[in-house]
Structure 1
């Protein structure tokens, strides 16, 4: 009788050990799977995506725009064209506004990322409120001398309303043009600090 109980207890212990081994194997597999998924998510979400020309990082590869991060903000260069007001609304929908050029260093940075010599990009400067009084989208006045390729002249041939909005070209050239033209845009979006 003792021998039967001992054999039965031995079988129960072996059965319990096998169940525990299976449970530990499943937990180890799930742990490795979760670790692999987290590693994949880290590299997909946090590494800049290099575009086809292998030099311009695009931080949102599923968007057509090109995103560049610099000095606490993102600069978003569109590939589609819109008029100045629609461009501004698009930038605001992204959480920013048309770019405000604060200094020569920023202007050179932006001009460097402008594509072709024939590409024009809206910036956040206009004299639509009062002709000749240039204001940024945050209502601060223009206080620097810039290189105007198309100097402010309110030319009315293209549009009887005149030219009240500013474009940026390659080589830091600016142009005073009709706000109704369809051009690309540069949005400026502040980076949010994680709390």
Structure 2
């Protein structure tokens, strides 16, 4: 009988002890809680301050990047800002009005005598290349002089791609009548070979569009099939 009583009292003692221990574990010191919450609040404030700084900095950079510049003839003008302006306009035309270009441009932009020359890195057919130039506010380049031809050849060789570049010259309207994209007749002769239409079953439209040949030292002209995909040179007047 004593053994039975002894054995029945052990679980109660353990149960009361466990209950007290559980109560102690559930008890939280109010001071510790205040300190913990204060630390969390401080970290939150610091994080918000960092985010606000980044947002403000990026916002200012976006405004500077996309702010129009009046004239590239002014020596004090930041030409990179103008380039960003043109690229931003292009992005707007592509329904991406909230995108602003990065500072490093994938294409080569060269400012000279009141205009920008843009040497593309992507390849398109002649019409698509022209549309791209128009989206930037210009057109495929019109070569007006021997000096300008030499300038473009120098820039192409500096790029070092040894490839072909579309220019704004075509006889697609009337065979043999070479017109620039502003409808003026061409009076220069930088042809590597006399232009020949070279119509064939595979090329019924002939060779009606002109490229600068970057594989040649003087980047001489060649007439090729307009649906070929090549790089291009845009000419954009300063705003």
- Post-superposition shift, 1:155? 1.0
Determine if the alignment matches structure 1 residue 102 to structure 2 residue 144: yes
Higher strand proportion (structure 1 or 2): 1
Whichever of the two has the greater Rg, that structure is 2
Other structure's SS at 1:109 match: helix
8 Å CA contact 1:76–1:188 kept in 2: the answer is yes
Other structure's SS at 2:233 match: strand
Instruction: Pick one of 167, 184, 190 that aligns with 1:140.
Output: 184
Instruction: Extract unaligned runs of 5+ from structure 1.
Output: 1-36, 50-57
Post-superposition CA distance 1:5-55 (Å, at most 9, x none): xxxxxxxxxxxxxxxxxxxxxxxxxxxxxxxx8xx96xx866567xxxxxx
- Post-superposition shift, 1:126? 0.2
CA-based RMSD of the aligned residues comes to 2.5
Q: How does 1:142-181 map to 2 (within 5 A)?
A: 142-146=186-190, 148-157=191-200, 159-170=203-214, 171-181=218-228
Higher helix proportion (structure 1 or 2): 2
Instruction: Extract unaligned runs of 5+ from structure 2.
Output: 1-56, 66-76, 85-102
Q: Tell me which of the two structures has the higher relative contact order, counting C-alpha pairs closer than 8 angstroms and 6 or more residues apart.
A: 1
TM-score of the superposition, structure 2-length normalised?
0.55
Other structure's SS at 1:142 match: coil
Q: Which position in structure 2 is the counterpart of 1:55?
A: none
Q: Which position in structure 1 is the counterpart of 2:134?
A: 92
Q: Distance in 1 between matches of 2:104 and 2:232?
A: 18
8 Å CA contact 1:117–1:169 kept in 2: the answer is no
8 Å CA contact 1:59–1:66 kept in 2: the answer is no
Aligned residues: 144
Q: Which position in structure 1 is the counterpart of 2:237?
A: 190
Q: Distance in 2 between matches of 1:72 and 1:110?
A: 15
